[in-house]
Structure 1
Amino acid sequence: MKQVSLFLITLNALFISCSTPSRDSAFIDNLMSRMTLEEKIGQLNLPSGGDIQTGTVFGAELDSLILEGKIGGFFNVKGVDEISRLQHLAVERGPHGIPLLVGADVIHGYETIFPIPLALSCSWDTTAIERMAQISAMEATADGINWNFSPMVDICRDPRWGRIAEGSGEDPYLGSMMAVAYVKGYQGEDLSADSTLLACVKHFALYGAAEGGRDYRPVDMSDVTMYNYYLPPFKAAVEAGCASLMTSFNLINGTHATADGKLINGLLRTGWHFNGLVVSDYNSFPDIAAMGTSKIEDAATLALEAGTDMDMVSGLYLKNLKNAVDKGLISEKIIDKACRRVLEAKQRLGLFDNPYQYCNPDRAKTGIFNTENRQAAREIAAETFVLLKNDNHVLPLRKTDKIAVIGPLADAANNMVGCWSMHAQTDKHNSLLEALKGAVGADGRILYARGCNIYDDETMQLNATGLRCIPFEHDTRQLEQEALYIAAKADVIVAAMGESSDMSGESASRADISIPAPQRRLLEKLKETGKPIVLLLFTGRPLVLDWESRNLDAILNVWFGGSEAADAISDVIFGTKIPQGKLTTSLPLHQGQIPIHYNRLPSSRPDPQAGVFNRYQSNYIDVDNEPLYPFGFGLSYTTFAYGKPTLSSTVLQENGCIDATVNVTNTGDYDGYEIVQLYIRDPVAQIARPIKELKDFARVFIRKGETATVHFSITDDKLKYYDANLKYDYEPGEFIVMIGSDSRNVQELSFRAE
């Protein structure tokens, strides 16, 4: 009898869900007309169902919220079986049979982990980014997830901030291109398909400019800087059709971003015509009070009035909104608008047509961490590595060499994936040591020693859960002796050093962004051996590498390359593939230069040339102004020669176009990609404009000995900016166009815009 009743309940729920086409707004009208105020408020509640941080709910408590209609979705629950159970509970026994949103932080892969987003941006390959996002969506949806809290599109000029690892660097144009690629990859052409999910663009807004590079800190910024540099990736994502946005933790000019009506209801909804879902960041409602802009009991009202639809974790909507309506402090119509947007998100996913389309266990068995996905991750990882130095062509290595592999990251498979990879199965990943041994085969001569700890201080090597990523060894003298012993026997030293995976990401800001002391000391000792040294730099941020750049023979920045990173690194250092990544952040010469970025405004007294000090000019007395490695920089095993660029005209007519052309020749011994970059400067404008701004780029494959002709179209849209009145336009006059291999090495031309 119980089974029959459950079957009838299921049929009834499905009939209600399917009786009206999911795209019909009348369906939402009808559904909301039958919902109580408490049930509408319930749709705005998004608890965490896992144990990643405090504030989560568990088991019976989550079930109870579903049955009482006090939940619109949940996140941090892994596994299609448990997610399916909860979805069935909501549809078959919850009020009105409303299905649930199921969220997750799939930042750079689900179980097949791709490089961290900062690394991905260094590929400058939007096609690869979109492919990565598609695979991530396919795997996550196969395991029951339909909402992804990605991409993070924050522009960051301060590498002390740990979350720089999650974004695409310092440039608004490149960041915008990457944002669009993520959204297209996650959401596809049809959000109701079972292999696509809702993208959630974050953090809205300006979190990458947090004071001192520290999480949860304020931002004080002019509108001109905001609109020209920090907001463009968000706007590009909105125009690409992103389904949801997440607010940020920070104050913006004294107002908390989650309760900033000017930002959300004003700019986002009215200015950009965004009609999707806005969710808070994790437990950020109490921060509104903590940062001094409201009392705790008023935080929910402020956030809802500003346009934040869903409350992630805090439960303050559940606790306070009905009372606020009863007291006349807020209109039920505002709750209705937020509830509608939550329901419309579910409608876009097709959940009212088929609540269980993401609950197919057969997909989970074959669609996650499979051979095809892993191969894609390996290929994409190889595109992200940036060769910073390669004196005397030390790289690529010969497999016949006797190679000393030294460093705390050489045999640490669980550190290859980097931050925000909680779904990774690291026991199935190769370490670098394993991959190199596999590449050289049984006859290869790979020697190994750990050599040192990551840090001198044992307590510094703890991850977010309090577990040690890399075991701390107390006998450091023995570690060093082992390393020096095998180094003396080797032809070449490969040093696997840098940051451990939890030294970047959320709540992982660093005041000192150099390579930690024990690793530097070991490198100094290895330098004394006279053997060539290749530094494989693992990192989630730009590091200060002044000593390393002056003293080591080769530096290959491999970031955190994902589950297939080890084999991808092996492919590159042995020359099966060649380095092709270029920096999307400036690498500082010294920490005192931070914040640092290439698209800076001109000074009243021009910056002197590198290596030159002139009193009463804009310089430091102790270091150069220029970064060690500039934005856009990256070497290859091959070389490229640029011809003289040309313009099809020296006058750009209104609504016209100039064709900028340059010939690029592969003058080396390998076929390879070159990333050709175009920058523009407006020397005289209503407000000061940067000394250069990236406005286009082309990733071009050129065979050795061949020449490619690269074309760029310069239109007036590439000249526009937000002026002091936030008008988006340009003024006629002279413009300088620069074409080259990076932001420092360019050739200049000029034209006049009418």
Structure 2
Amino acid sequence: MMACQTDSASSDATDRQIENRIDELLSRMTIEEKIGQTNQLTLYGTTEELCAAISRGEIGSLLNVIDPADVNTLQRAAVEQSRLGIPLLIARDVIHGYRTVFPIPLGQAATFDPELIEQGARIAAVEASAAGVRWTFSPMLDISRDPRWGRIAESSGEDPCLTEAMGAAMVRGYQGGGADDPTSVAACAKHFVGYGASEGGRDYNSTSLTERQLRNIYLPPFRSALQSGAMTVMTSFNDNDGIPSTGNKWLLTDLLRNEWGYDGMVVTDWNSAGEMVTHGFAADTRDAARKAIAAGVDMDMMSHVYAQHLKELIEAGEVDEKQLDDAVRNILRVKFRLGLFDNPYIDTARIARVTYTEENLAAARRCAEESAVLLRNEGDLLPLDASKLRSVLVAGPLADAPAEQLGTWTFDGEPSHTVTPLAAIRAQYGDRLRIGFDAVADYSRQRLSPAQLAAFTTEASRYDAILLFIGEEAILSGEAHCLADLDLKGSQSELMAAARRSGKPVVTVIMAGRPLTIARDLANTDALLYAFHPGTMGGPALIDLIFGRAVPSGKLPVTFPVTTGQIPVYYAHHMTGRPATGNELLIDQTPVGAGQTSLGCTSYHLDAGFGPLFPFGYGLSYTTFAYDTPQLDKSFYTADETIHASCRLTNNGKRAATEVVQLYIRDRVGSTVRPVRELKDFRRVTLRPGESRIVEFELPADRLAFWGLDMQRKVEPGEFDLWIAGDSQSGTSTLFTIQ
């Protein structure tokens, strides 16, 4: 049974007590009070109006109440003024920090550091719970292989294995110690399921994923999150194969409840029940309520369809009251597991004590540091040696943009607490360097005149080095902020070229919510750090990296395309019958008037070449790491054995540094076509200069299982390649066989 409460064997007794208390409450509830528990509304009207509705038992959960005093007032209406005294569940989108903002989730995934991500989620939960928030709509577990999709910023990228690890870490961090912990915040695994594959990278759009694709790629992170104890699941906006998630009984009942044994709560996304009418899947809101409850949705977020229609549907015999009872049971179970019945109120003074603490800021700084990916470092320009410089020009629209640095979906982040790169370099080096500043553009999309660009070149030539901070404003990524073109916006490419014309060394830092198509821009910078949106402490982290107080260790959690037209491009693609060899003619090499033939043709783009700009898992360091050929404990395994793989890793440079060591496999022949590589594990390994270490992995053969031709999950016998490498395109493989 995939229960949400998994702390210890003693939880069995606690669960029985909870079930008994739920039974007792249900036996006393009217239909109206049951329906009220399924009704989630956002903050509206006056506190008096809300209190009146709550005391009548009409609301089970509220969104966006963040004043601790208001939370206590509303809880008092629920606990002391309603007939049954059922507490409210206060919810908020706490996506990558509450007050102390960490890098966006895509940036967090670049750390390949689940322990640090768990710590970040724990800090977010401590801060948010101090405001009365006990439920967050995170982690987002959508596999995201299209950077045009704005919500890729909220994801852990394109890979199921990495997304599993990051999602499970967030669940553990948010939920902490469970019912006895007043800082525990219920996690929500979203969006169930396939949302990241929306057509054209457009939000809210359709998907057409087969059951095999769902089970092999899109569902594993959700199962891992639930096994880690995630208390809630959110349905997704998309329809898949014509069925909206909010009305999909196979997904929410047959799979989630019956097959996986999940006993937590399922909530719609904002108005996704009502939007089934717009989809054309439901005739009206009454029909939407009937289909949502039949599918297995417990709580309706802001559609009002349950509140308006469930009683009528039950009285008409179109909905069995047992379905409503089951939904209420799941809602109450979460409230009991959070300890809300025993401790509904909060200490209104606590929030001042737990936000922006030294520990919180240090963790956010470390996460920003580990999330930055070094993509270019010509001539080993970085790290800069401050003792050899007299002056530095800090430039670009994101050099001192505190709100933009926080990134998307930061309702509660405060720009006044953001430390920008400009502020950080002034604080750290202002006493020994002449530091100039020129934003040049007021925002990333601004168009600059030739005269402005020429003036910048002249200004830049007066400094010893240029630190250029560019990318995307926060509003250009996230929900409903999808792009058809991924080039740098405004005149930022031209700004890079203007910096290059100064003749001085150029270090570029890109802050963005997604991969951008920067192939044409690389020649105009000596070094490039991709920092995504790094959060509250992004400035100090980036200055530490640039000047060598820290060494880059981030790796790309998503493939970077050369051009938008390559999308979708991801590392774990299937092998085609005619794979490219890399020796084919490109468009500039194709003779005019050449004859058309299919003989010898392969799968590639004439105008984009044979692969991505940067592959998944890629990232440079200030040192070089050498990988020996992987070694296995034997060559033949059975499906119930564990593969012991190892590789000698050597730091050949002059700096201590951390490498993300990645283990990939390929199933050479399957009952269905298998990916060319699949990430199965990873390690962060820190080595001193010249140090070597044997990095060991234990890979249960069961991790090689997949849903094959017969739609059964199993390990198929055959030959497998195994790599231990620094990214998804490098390394030497070794062979083993499953008998």
**Interval of TM-score (by shorter of Structure 1 and Structure 2):** over 0.9
- Given candidates 593, 617, 634, the residue that maps to 1:632 is 617
Q: For each residue in 1:688-726, what CA deviation from the matched residue of structure 2 results, as whole angstroms up to 9, or x when unmatched?
A: 101111111111111111101101123321211111332
Q: Secondary structure at the match of 1:120?
A: helix
- Given candidates 139, 163, 170, the residue that maps to 1:175 is 163
Mapped to 2, the partners of 1:91 and 1:517 lie a distance apart of: 54
Q: For each residue in 1:116-170, what CA deviation from the matched residue of structure 2 results, as whole angstroms up to 9, or x when unmatched?
A: 0000000000100111111111111111111111110110100000000001000
Q: How far did 1:484 drift?
A: 2.3
1:619 aligns with 2:604: yes
Q: Is the Cα contact below 8 Å between 1:687 and 1:723 reproduced in 2?
A: yes
Q: For each residue in 1:213-256, what CA deviation from the matched residue of structure 2 results, as whole angstroms up to 9, or x when unmatched?
A: 11111111111111111111001111111100011111011011
1:404 aligns with 2:389: no
Mapped to 2, the partners of 1:183 and 1:518 lie a distance apart of: 41
Q: Secondary structure at the match of 1:83?
A: helix
Q: Secondary structure at the match of 1:556?
A: strand
1:553 aligns with 2:540: no
Residue identity matched to 1:436? I
Q: Is the Cα contact below 8 Å between 1:191 and 1:198 reproduced in 2?
A: no
Partner of 1:38: 32
Q: How far did 1:294 drift?
A: 0.7
Residue identity matched to 2:161? Y
- Given candidates 66, 70, 73, the residue that maps to 1:82 is 70
Residue identity matched to 2:34? K
1:376 aligns with 2:370: no
1:367 aligns with 2:361: no
Q: For each residue in 1:490-531, what CA deviation from the matched residue of structure 2 results, as whole angstroms up to 9, or x when unmatched?
A: 111111001011111111101111111411122122222222
Residue identity matched to 2:521? E
Q: How far did 1:111 drift?
A: 0.1
Q: Is the Cα contact below 8 Å between 2:420 and 2:537 reproduced in 1?
A: no
Are the structure 2 counterparts of residues 587 and 687 from structure 1 closer, same or farther at C-alpha, using a change threshold of 3 Å?
same
- Given candidates 208, 217, 220, the residue that maps to 1:232 is 220
1:448 aligns with 2:448: no
Are the structure 2 counterparts of residues 171 and 58 from structure 1 closer, same or farther at C-alpha, using a change threshold of 3 Å?
farther
Unmatched runs of 5 consecutive residues or more in structure 1: 1-19, 50-55, 457-471
- Given candidates 42, 62, 84, the residue that maps to 1:48 is 42
* Superposed counterparts of 1:122-201, under 5 Å: 122-201=110-189
- Given candidates 566, 570, 573, the residue that maps to 1:593 is 566
* Superposed counterparts of 1:205-216, under 5 Å: 205-216=193-204
Mapped to 2, the partners of 1:428 and 1:584 lie a distance apart of: 28
Query: Which runs of 4 or more aligned residues in structure 1 lie more than 3 Å from their structure 2 counterparts after TM superposition?
Result: 20-24, 56-61, 453-456, 474-482, 610-615
- Normalising by structure 2, we get a TM-score of 0.94
Q: How far did 1:727 drift?
A: 0.6
1:707 aligns with 2:692: yes
- Given candidates 295, 300, 303, the residue that maps to 1:306 is 295
Q: For each residue in 1:333-387, what CA deviation from the matched residue of structure 2 results, as whole angstroms up to 9, or x when unmatched?
A: 111110111111111011112222xx11232120112222111111121011000
Q: Is the Cα contact below 8 Å between 2:265 and 2:298 reproduced in 1?
A: yes
Partner of 1:649: 634
1:343 aligns with 2:332: yes
Mapped to 1, the partners of 2:522 and 2:50 lie a distance apart of: 53
Q: Is the Cα contact below 8 Å between 2:629 and 2:733 reproduced in 1?
A: no
Point out the more displaced range, 521-530 or 706-715.
521-530
1:751 aligns with 2:736: yes
Mapped to 2, the partners of 1:57 and 1:290 lie a distance apart of: 27
Q: Secondary structure at the match of 1:131?
A: helix
1:25 aligns with 2:19: yes
Mapped to 2, the partners of 1:21 and 1:114 lie a distance apart of: 34
Q: Secondary structure at the match of 1:641?
A: strand
Q: For each residue in 1:586-630, what CA deviation from the matched residue of structure 2 results, as whole angstroms up to 9, or x when unmatched?
A: 000111110111000001112222775595111111121310000
1:734 aligns with 2:707: no
Partner of 1:495: 468
Q: How far did 1:455 drift?
A: 5.2
Q: How far did 1:393 drift?
A: 1.1
- Given candidates 506, 523, 539, the residue that maps to 1:566 is 539
Mapped to 1, the partners of 2:444 and 2:438 lie a distance apart of: 17
Q: How far did 1:91 drift?
A: 0.8
Q: How far did 1:477 drift?
A: 6.0
Q: For each residue in 1:244-269, what CA deviation from the matched residue of structure 2 results, as whole angstroms up to 9, or x when unmatched?
A: 00111110110110111110001111
Q: Is the Cα contact below 8 Å between 2:707 and 2:713 reproduced in 1?
A: yes
Q: For each residue in 1:473-501, what CA deviation from the matched residue of structure 2 results, as whole angstroms up to 9, or x when unmatched?
A: x8856653552232010111111001011
What CA RMSD, in Å, does the superposition of the two structures yield over aligned residues? Answer: 1.7
Q: Is the Cα contact below 8 Å between 2:444 and 2:473 reproduced in 1?
A: no
* Paired residue total: 711
- Given candidates 671, 695, 710, the residue that maps to 1:725 is 710
Q: Is the Cα contact below 8 Å between 1:453 and 1:476 reproduced in 2?
A: no
- Given candidates 355, 358, 365, the residue that maps to 2:344 is 355
- Normalising by structure 1, we get a TM-score of 0.92
Residue identity matched to 2:360? N
Are the structure 2 counterparts of residues 235 and 610 from structure 1 closer, same or farther at C-alpha, using a change threshold of 3 Å?
farther
Mapped to 1, the partners of 2:28 and 2:502 lie a distance apart of: 78
Q: How far did 1:652 drift?
A: 1.1
Mapped to 1, the partners of 2:411 and 2:193 lie a distance apart of: 25
Q: Is the Cα contact below 8 Å between 1:22 and 1:348 reproduced in 2?
A: no
Are the structure 2 counterparts of residues 482 and 61 from structure 1 closer, same or farther at C-alpha, using a change threshold of 3 Å?
farther
Q: Is the Cα contact below 8 Å between 2:236 and 2:246 reproduced in 1?
A: yes
Q: How far did 1:21 drift?
A: 10
Q: How far did 1:452 drift?
A: 2.5
Residue identity matched to 1:312? M
Mapped to 2, the partners of 1:379 and 1:592 lie a distance apart of: 35
Q: Is the Cα contact below 8 Å between 2:95 and 2:138 reproduced in 1?
A: yes
Q: Is the Cα contact below 8 Å between 2:444 and 2:470 reproduced in 1?
A: no
Mapped to 2, the partners of 1:316 and 1:645 lie a distance apart of: 57
Are the structure 2 counterparts of residues 222 and 654 from structure 1 closer, same or farther at C-alpha, using a change threshold of 3 Å?
closer
Are the structure 2 counterparts of residues 583 and 696 from structure 1 closer, same or farther at C-alpha, using a change threshold of 3 Å?
same
Mapped to 2, the partners of 1:21 and 1:409 lie a distance apart of: 50
Partner of 1:395: 382
Mapped to 1, the partners of 2:376 and 2:396 lie a distance apart of: 19
Q: Is the Cα contact below 8 Å between 1:452 and 1:479 reproduced in 2?
A: no
Q: Is the Cα contact below 8 Å between 1:451 and 1:481 reproduced in 2?
A: no
Mapped to 2, the partners of 1:24 and 1:626 lie a distance apart of: 54
Residue identity matched to 2:419? N
Partner of 1:425: 414
Q: Is the Cα contact below 8 Å between 1:21 and 1:353 reproduced in 2?
A: no
Q: Is the Cα contact below 8 Å between 1:22 and 1:353 reproduced in 2?
A: no
1:266 aligns with 2:254: yes
1:527 aligns with 2:500: yes
Are the structure 2 counterparts of residues 431 and 67 from structure 1 closer, same or farther at C-alpha, using a change threshold of 3 Å?
same
Mapped to 2, the partners of 1:37 and 1:609 lie a distance apart of: 67
Partner of 2:593: none
1:324 aligns with 2:284: no
1:672 aligns with 2:657: yes
